[in-house]
């Protein structure tokens, strides 16, 4: 596969104003230093080539309360050839099936309806609507993933979504009863164009369901490793309410869900067609009480991250110094960030395993650890395995019960480093 970055001239922009409100009142919260692109896995040949790195600085907008990074790498260089396939996670599949059932029943979807998913990946969500004969359309810019979706029978446009594409679809007579955007809004550089596109594409009485990682959970769980160049923004409900209202669409409902270490599931609709539920007003009030509109909360988060880094490094060095062998599980984007920020490389870990065959045979960005299939845990039996995909820790440990039975132990780094199934 062709590496999306190496060998290309990378043009990037540094953020002068807020991505949502346009204000320049941005304050630095945390600097993770220079970082490789989190999903730019390397081939063996590419290990000998220069590897681009980019500043990863987190800032807070005092005007609209949006937390965001300052660097914008062009989307076509991030997403044109993508290696994250949602369907390899049983947790994601089950959640998607349940969401489809809820939407089909609550909105009485049928063969005359239209469901559009933005950032549809390999069709893992839309398949559950198509099984019920409900027309679907996926939109995803990653050509390799869109091709997988098409082979599964999910019609997918390989395009970036925004105002222009929404207008184009409307001219073709396509409007959506339901728009789904799961874990995609944070990836969007042009927030206002994306949200305006949703307003245009959504039918008068339609609803859009948007899921975003929740900044409250990021802060409480010290989830600094969810900060990377693909994730441009980190949302509170307060910042989202400001964004949506500027486009005459409103939050009609909100729910906190455990996906991705803690997320918000939002339902939005046209302003004149809905009355917000009590859940929206309640969470907005709680965010005020929690201080999510104040800079000091985010500065405290930055200090906690630095302390956690010191704690994790101390644990791993102690184990390695004691003669134990260590590996890691999950070649996820968050793993790239954690390994590079904490400077965890071949001096501490022997290898990384991942269940996705699309990642096996590659190397982790920056630290250049090899990626093997999970069977290597039993073949090589490292004493301890650091779970980089900690949001799927329960699923991983269930799948690796034989490794645990043979005496292997897992380390979960977030929110505090801890050993599970400690060796005697």
Considering the domain architecture, whether residues 114 and 157 belong to the same structural domain is answered as yes
- Cis amide prior to 415 (ω within 30 degrees): yes
Q: Select from 252, 386, 260 the least CA-distant residue to 316.
A: 386
Average pLDDT over residues 58-82: 84
Q: Select from 226, 184, 189 the least CA-distant residue to 209.
A: 184
Considering the domain architecture, whether residues 302 and 286 belong to the same structural domain is answered as no
Tell me how far CA of residue 65 lies from CA of 190, 246, 292, in angstroms: 17, 15, 7
Could you read off the pLDDT of 122-161 as tens digits, one per residue? 898 999 999 999 999 999 988 888 898 999 999 999 999 9
Considering the domain architecture, whether residues 356 and 380 belong to the same structural domain is answered as yes
Q: pTM for this structure?
A: 0.85
Considering the domain architecture, whether residues 314 and 216 belong to the same structural domain is answered as no
Mean pLDDT of the chain: 91
Considering the domain architecture, whether residues 285 and 313 belong to the same structural domain is answered as no
H or E element that contains 138:
strand 136-139
pLDDT band of 275, cuts 50, 70, 90: confident
How far apart are alpha carbons 176 and 113 in whole angstroms? 8
- Domain presence at residue 368: yes
Could you read off the pLDDT of 8-60 as tens digits, one per residue? 333 445 558 999 999 999 999 999 999 999 989 999 999 999 999 999 999 99
Of the residues 266, 293, 320, the one at which a domain ends = 293
Q: With pLDDT > 70 as the criterion, what percentage of the chain qualifies?
A: 92
Asked if residue 307 has pLDDT above 70, the reply is yes
Considering the domain architecture, whether residues 323 and 281 belong to the same structural domain is answered as no
Phi-psi category of 131—alpha, beta or left, where left has phi over 0 and alpha has psi -120 to 50?
alpha
Considering the domain architecture, whether residues 352 and 270 belong to the same structural domain is answered as no
Of the residues 293, 323, 344, the one at which a domain ends = 293
Q: Which 8-state DSSP code applies to residue 10? A: P
CATH number of the CATH domain containing 119:
3.40.50.150
CATH number of the CATH domain containing 302:
3.40.50.720
Q: With pLDDT > 90 as the criterion, what percentage of the chain qualifies?
A: 80
How far apart are alpha carbons 189 and 10 in whole angstroms? 16
Of the residues 249, 276, 293, the one at which a domain ends = 293
Average pLDDT over residues 188-202: 96
Considering the domain architecture, whether residues 275 and 159 belong to the same structural domain is answered as yes
């Amino acid at each position: 596969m062709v590496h999306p970055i190496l060998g290309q001239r990378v043009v990037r922009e540094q953020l002068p104003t807020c991505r949502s409100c346009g204000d320049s009142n941005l304050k630095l919260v945390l600097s993770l230093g220079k970082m490789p692109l989190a999903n730019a896995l390397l081939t063996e040949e590419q290990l000998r080539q220069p590897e681009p790195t980019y500043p990863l600085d987190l800032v807070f907008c005092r005007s609209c309360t949006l937390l965001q990074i300052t660097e914008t790498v062009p989307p076509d260089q991030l997403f044109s050839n993508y290696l994250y396939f949602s369907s390899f996670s049983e947790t994601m599949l089950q959640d998607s099936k349940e969401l489809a059932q809820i939407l089909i029943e609550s909105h009485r979807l049928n063969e005359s309806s239209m469901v559009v998913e933005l950032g549809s990946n390999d069709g893992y969500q839309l398949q559950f609507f198509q099984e019920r004969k409900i027309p679907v359309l996926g939109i995803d810019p990653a050509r390799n993933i869109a091709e997988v979706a098409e082979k599964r029978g999910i019609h997918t446009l390989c395009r970036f979504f925004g105002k222009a594409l929404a207008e184009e679809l409307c001219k073709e007579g396509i409007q959506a009863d339901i728009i789904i955007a799961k874990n995609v809004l944070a990836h969007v550089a042009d927030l206002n164009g994306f949200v305006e596109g949703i307003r245009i594409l959504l039918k008068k009485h339609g609803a859009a369901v948007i899921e975003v990682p929740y900044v409250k959970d990021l802060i409480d769980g010290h989830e600094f490793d969810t900060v990377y160049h693909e994730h441009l923004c980190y949302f509170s409900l307060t910042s989202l309410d400001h964004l949506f209202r500027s486009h005459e669409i409103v939050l009609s409902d909100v729910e906190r869900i455990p996906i991705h270490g803690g997320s918000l599931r939002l339902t939005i609709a046209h302003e004149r067609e809905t009355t917000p539920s009590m859940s929206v007003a309640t969470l907005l009030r709680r965010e005020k009480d929690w201080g999510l509109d104040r800079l000091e909360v985010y500065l405290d988060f930055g200090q906690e991250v630095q302390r956690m880094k010191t704690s994790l490094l101390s644990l791993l060095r102690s184990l390695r110094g004691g003669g134990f062998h260590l590996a890691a599980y999950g070649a996820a984007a968050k793993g790239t960030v954690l390994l590079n920020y904490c400077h965890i490389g071949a001096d501490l870990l022997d290898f990384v395993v991942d269940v996705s065959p699309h990642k096996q045979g590659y190397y982790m960005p920056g630290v250049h650890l090899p990626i093997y299939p999970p069977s290597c845990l039993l073949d090589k039996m490292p004493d301890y395995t650091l779970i980089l995909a900690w949001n799927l820790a329960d699923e991983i440990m269930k799948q690796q019960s034989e490794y645990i039975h043979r005496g292997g132990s897992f380390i979960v780094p977030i929110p505090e480093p801890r050993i599970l199934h400690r060796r005697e």
